[in-house]
């Protein structure tokens, strides 16, 4: 088991990931779109909100469980869907799902997983598993993926709506990462400089594929062929009618991910979805997109309790989680932190991350004088109305 005695927060996991991964691979998960302004703003948005704690309160007993879709979560966070996790650790999706089951929180499997949805479900029995769907042009493929998720026992279907365009990620362009890592002298040197990663991920096992698509696509099923399908067949025409058709097909809980506009929140609720996830894809897609945390108050107030609101992008501390819940979010989703944690340490790293976040949530909750998360509210927050050199913030 790895030594986590000096791993106290997400930044420590990030440091371990940087030491384990070749630089282009680390940049792939770390970077954002274009000039990475949205990426940076996802973090600084949290700094513009501070706490007004209550201290004359008995907090000797505290509970951070939340109920979502009629079932308890031991903590108010889930692991977000991420593709290409096999670049960080062999069978990383299984490691994450098992850690989430043990911690009592949901795990979301990406369409772009290197491990099939059936294998993940078999490896993490009893867990709260959700499947994230990228919608393709071929409706037969979409129907098949949805039916397979239902047959495998996934509790919820999460439809991502903000990635129909291919983003401009300049770090990846400079590093020569497209469908795969180009064999340039610099990249070869970067890989050889990380011999443990080279053995763990590349040399000791077959090269991974996009396992969920392997049985859906006719013709070659090499990684390159499946990746070409994944990129070229995304449904740019996805609209409200498509969402309603998926609502009719899927009998479980349905969530829509990628909401940043209150009108979209209303349209999703009107289509019968069970929840929405505010997301700018971790700052990886649209440069200049608002941070989900910035638009959270408007959207929570807009849907007014009709459906639960979750969000991702930029969460690194338990205090970030508490701020989102105090504004009205039901739970949050952890993306990059889980990718850092699985790198080089697998399930043990993810378990330590979840325990660390749970401890931080508990600590902040206690400082704020809240015995349960239901006691959180906006009265405990101080909102900055001005940023230096700017007009009032959205919060």
Active site amino acids: 281
Helix/strand/coil percent split, the chain, to 5: 45, 15, 40
Q: Give the domain ranges of the chain.
A: 10-383
pLDDT of 220: 85
pLDDT by residue, tens only, the chain of 395 residues: 678 999 999 999 999 999 999 999 999 999 999 999 999 999 999 999 999 999 999 999 999 999 999 999 999 999 999 998 989 999 999 999 999 999 999 999 999 999 999 999 999 999 999 999 999 999 999 999 999 999 999 999 999 999 888 899 999 899 988 767 888 999 999 999 999 999 999 998 887 789 999 989 888 888 888 988 988 898 999 999 999 999 999 999 999 999 999 999 999 999 999 999 999 999 999 999 999 999 999 999 999 889 999 999 999 999 999 999 999 999 999 999 999 999 999 999 999 999 999 999 999 999 999 999 999 999 999 998 644 433 334 44
C-alpha torsion angle, residues 331, 337, 341, 347 (rounded to 10): 20
State the distance between the two ends of the chain, measured CA to CA, in whole angstroms.
43
Residue 259: beta bridge partners? 278
The pair of three-digit structure tokens given for residue 13, joined into one six-digit string: 């996991």
Place of tokens 């015995």: 371
Closest C-alpha to 275, from 49, 82, 83, 67: 67
Query: Are the C-beta atoms of 293 and 310 separated by less than 8 Å?
Result: no
Rg (Cα) of the chain, in Å, rounded?
Answer: 20
Token digits of residue 284? 């990886």
To which CATH superfamily is domain 10-383 assigned? Aldolase class I (3.20.20.70)
pLDDT of residue 386: 47
- Give backbone dihedrals phi and psi of 50, rounded to 5 degrees, phi first: -125, 175
- What pLDDT does residue 208 have? 79
* Helix ranges, 304-345 (H): 318-327, 336-342
SS3 (DSSP) at 26:
helix
- Strand residues in 185-318 grouped as ranges (E): 253-259, 275-278, 309-311
């Amino acid at each position: 088991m790895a030594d986590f005695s000096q791993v106290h927060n997400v930044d420590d996991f990030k440091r371990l990931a940087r030491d384990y991964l070749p630089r282009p691979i680390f940049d792939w998960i770390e970077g954002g779109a274009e000039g990475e302004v949205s990426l940076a703003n996802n973090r600084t948005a949290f700094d513009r909100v501070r706490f007004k704690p209550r201290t004359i309160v008995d907090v000797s007993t505290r509970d951070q469980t939340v109920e979502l879709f009629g079932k308890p979560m031991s903590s108010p966070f889930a692991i977000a869907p991420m593709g290409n996790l096999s670049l960080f650790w062999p069978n990383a999706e299984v490691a994450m799902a098992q850690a989430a089951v043990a911690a009592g929180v949901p795990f979301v499997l990406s369409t772009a997983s290197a491990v099939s949805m059936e294998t993940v479900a078999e490896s993490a029995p009893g867990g709260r598993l959700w499947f994230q769907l990228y919608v393709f042009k071929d409706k037969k493929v979409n129907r098949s993926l949805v039916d397979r998720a239902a047959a495998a026992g996934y509790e919820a279907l999460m439809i991502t709506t903000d990635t129909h365009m291919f983003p401009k990620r300049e770090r990846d362009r400079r590093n020569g990462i497209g469908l795969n890592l180009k064999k340039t002298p610099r990249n070869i040197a970067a890989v050889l400089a990380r011999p443990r990663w080279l053995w763990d991920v590349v040399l000791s096992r077959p090269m991974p594929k996009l396992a969920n698509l392997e049985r859906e696509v006719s013709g070659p099923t090499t990684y390159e062929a499946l990746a070409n399908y994944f990129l070229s067949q995304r449904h740019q025409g996805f609209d409200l009618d498509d969402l309603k058709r998926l609502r009719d097909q899927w009998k479980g809980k349905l969530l829509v991910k990628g909401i940043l506009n209150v009108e979209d929140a209303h349209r999703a609720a009107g289509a019968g979805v069970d929840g929405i996830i505010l997301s700018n894809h971790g700052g990886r897609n649209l440069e200049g997109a608002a941070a989900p945390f910035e638009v959270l108050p408007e959207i929570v107030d807009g849907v007014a309790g009709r459906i639960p609101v979750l969000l991702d992008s930029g969460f690194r501390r338990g205090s970030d989680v508490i701020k989102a819940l105090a504004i009205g979010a039901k739970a949050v989703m952890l993306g990059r932190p889980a990718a850092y944690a699985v790198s080089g340490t697998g399930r043990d790293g993810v378990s330590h991350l979840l325990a660390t976040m749970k401890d931080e949530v508990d600590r902040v909750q206690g400082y704020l004088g809240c015995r349960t998360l239901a006691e959180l509210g906006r009265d405990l927050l101080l909102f900055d109305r001005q940023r230096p050199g700017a007009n009032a913030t959205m919060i």
